[in-house]
Amino acid sequence: MELILGIDPGISGGAVLLAKDKVFIETVVFSHITSTDVANWLIKATPDITIAYIEQVHSFPGQGVSSTFKFGQNFGLWIGFLTALKIPFQFVQPLKWQTAMSCKTGGDKNISKARAQELFPHLKITHANADALLIAEYGRRKEIGL
């Protein structure tokens, strides 16, 4: 099975595995597990992952030093995991995937949550998995040429 990995590397983000036929496979939410758990989850899935799409993140004005550091740490951790496991990946700017997925949020996570629920009505969508799911769907569409 060919899987697309969508990653929202934010502190309260997550990662989603989505099959090329749009079948949802699995999600992890970072606030509920350790980085070791993420690594083990990723190692198990690696043979089936054809590509990962990771949100290209950056700090924001007014964001605290501690939260900015943690944000960057998560992003770097994902790049390290993907590189070590030889999983090809592409960065995607938030505005690019949000525009393609018809959910420009302007910082309102409820917009991406509603759009993810619309596209995947059979799933329980949360703020922690919505962006990762939409990033995975963005990647899936690119991979199949939509």
Mind listing the pLDDT tens digit for each residue in 68-103?
556 667 888 999 999 999 999 999 999 999 999 999
- Of residues 17 and 57, more confidence is placed in 17
**C-alpha neighbours within 13 Å on the C-beta side of residue 47:** 2
- Model confidence band, residue 124 (pLDDT cutoffs 50, 70, 90): very high
Whether the predicted pLDDT of 59 surpasses 60: no
CA atoms of 118 and 136, how far apart (whole Å): 15
- Of residues 58 and 78, more confidence is placed in 78
- Model confidence band, residue 65 (pLDDT cutoffs 50, 70, 90): low
> Number of structural domains, the chain?
1
Between the two ends of the chain, the Cα-to-Cα distance in Å is: 19
Domain of residue 127, residue span: 3-144
- Model confidence band, residue 10 (pLDDT cutoffs 50, 70, 90): confident
Mind listing the pLDDT tens digit for each residue in 20-46?
998 888 998 888 788 899 899 999 999
CA atoms of 130 and 127, how far apart (whole Å): 5
Per-residue model confidence (pLDDT) at position 17:
96
Domain with residue 89: its CATH number is: 3.30.420.10
Question: Model's pTM, two decimal places?
Answer: 0.90
